[in-house]
Amino acid sequence: MFMRMYENFSGCRVLSYCVMSNHFHILLEVPPMPEDGISDGELLKRLGFLNGEKFVKGIADELAAARCEGGLVNGNEARVREIHGRFTKRMYSLSHFMQGLLIRFTRWFNRKHSRKGTLWEERFKSVIVESGTAARTISAYIDLNPVRAGMVVDPAEYRWSSYGEAIGGGNKGNGKKAREGLVRAFMCHRGTGFDADKWRDVAKRYRMLLGMALERKSGRAEIERSGVKGKTLNEAEAMAVASGDNETVLKELSIAKMLRCRIRYFSDGAVIGSREFVDKAFASARDRFGEKRTDGARRLRGNGQAAAGTIWSARDLRVGITT
């Protein structure tokens, strides 16, 4: 898949994704370039994900010549930096990741269908997402796309998504990349990396979140909070409450249910996360907003109202917020 090719090349990591019939969604982590850059070997390895052996060998020969030039210990360092710069400028960048992915897919699609010209109607939309509740919520929202579209009744049945790949194994039969991404999306706020070994635990909790959104099978659980007791819950909700983390679960029940709806904030909200996170992003980009605006965080409305007060947006979508 082209997405995995560019992931391996760019250093960006896909946390969750869903490819639909005429568009796709990706939750992407874009880390900074390492302070010391990347080694020659790492550069050549990454080039191999996008290019043939002949091209990679040509760059390897260029680097070898530059490293020997002038008789210095590291050779002609300026020349080495120029060679690296040709390719590293396209790494660790959302814009270059998307540009490369869209161009490569368009070329493939045009060849397959004997057509020419552009394929995508407009430039991609991007939203900055905070780790924690926001990342988990948007990851689940992405994986539930085919359910909302009426294509499947269970996201596990849809093979062109992160959850479908994680459950079904993907083209290579193991689904490791997808599992690593979902582990990261679900637990990155705790410092957990791309650790597929934690999938067994995350899979249960992620499935619980999806189940709450789908409202599967009724069950019973006793809830004592704000005067509510003996509320009828679906199976996933009952399991969640029984797990003992009621404060977190109860807070996310209503958020999970809203995922059955289309939430425009998740494509047009600019920044999604806690109030503090959105305000901080607003302060760092203050010049992009009007003079009268004093803070960044805006409460979600319309179909996103269930998350109001927990997840905030940098844009106040007063018109057409439910579309």
- Structural domain for 52, as ranges: 40-88
How far apart (Å, rounded) are the C-alpha atoms in residues 129 and 133? 10
Q: Is 28 within the bounds of a domain?
A: no
Q: Is 19 within the bounds of a domain?
A: no
Render pLDDT for 127-176 as a digit per residue (tens, 0 to 9). 999 998 899 999 999 999 999 999 998 899 998 999 999 988 755 556 88
Q: 181: pLDDT confidence band, cut at 50, 70 and 90? A: very high
Task: Look at residue 260 in the predicted model and tell me its pLDDT.
Answer: 85
- In this structure, the answer to whether residues 243 and 280 fall within a common structural domain is no
Q: Assess whether pLDDT exceeds 80 at residue 223.
A: no
Task: Look at residue 286 in the predicted model and tell me its pLDDT.
Answer: 86
Q: Is 231 within the bounds of a domain?
A: yes
How far apart (Å, rounded) are the C-alpha atoms in residues 76 and 69? 5
- The residue among 88, 123, 153 that closes a domain is 88
CA dist 172 → 163, 176, 198, 208 (Å) = 15, 9, 20, 26
Q: Is 167 within the bounds of a domain?
A: no
Q: Is 73 within the bounds of a domain?
A: yes
Task: Look at residue 204 in the predicted model and tell me its pLDDT.
Answer: 85
Render pLDDT for 241-250 as a digit per residue (tens, 0 to 9). 444 444 444 4
- The residue among 256, 288, 305 that closes a domain is 256
Q: Is 164 within the bounds of a domain?
A: no
When mean pLDDT is compared across 92-101, 164-173, 248-257, the lowest value belongs to 248-257
Q: Is 245 within the bounds of a domain?
A: yes
Q: Assess whether pLDDT exceeds 80 at residue 254.
A: no
Number of structural domains the chain divides into: 3
When mean pLDDT is compared across 13-22, 132-141, 181-190, 214-223, the lowest value belongs to 214-223
Q: 209: pLDDT confidence band, cut at 50, 70 and 90? A: confident
Q: What is the pTM of this model?
A: 0.82
Q: Assess whether pLDDT exceeds 80 at residue 126.
A: yes
Arithmetic mean of pLDDT, 192-210: 85
Render pLDDT for 34-92 as a digit per residue (tens, 0 to 9). 999 999 999 999 999 999 999 999 999 999 999 988 666 678 899 999 999 999 999 99
Task: Look at residue 246 in the predicted model and tell me its pLDDT.
Answer: 42
Task: Look at residue 73 in the predicted model and tell me its pLDDT.
Answer: 67
Helices 176-187 and 199-214, packing angle to 10 deg: 70
- In this structure, the answer to whether residues 219 and 252 fall within a common structural domain is yes
Render pLDDT for 264-320 as a digit per residue (tens, 0 to 9). 999 999 999 999 999 999 999 888 888 888 888 999 999 898 888 889 999 888 755
- In this structure, the answer to whether residues 244 and 219 fall within a common structural domain is yes
Arithmetic mean of pLDDT, 13-37: 93
CA dist 174 → 165, 192, 196 (Å) = 8, 21, 11
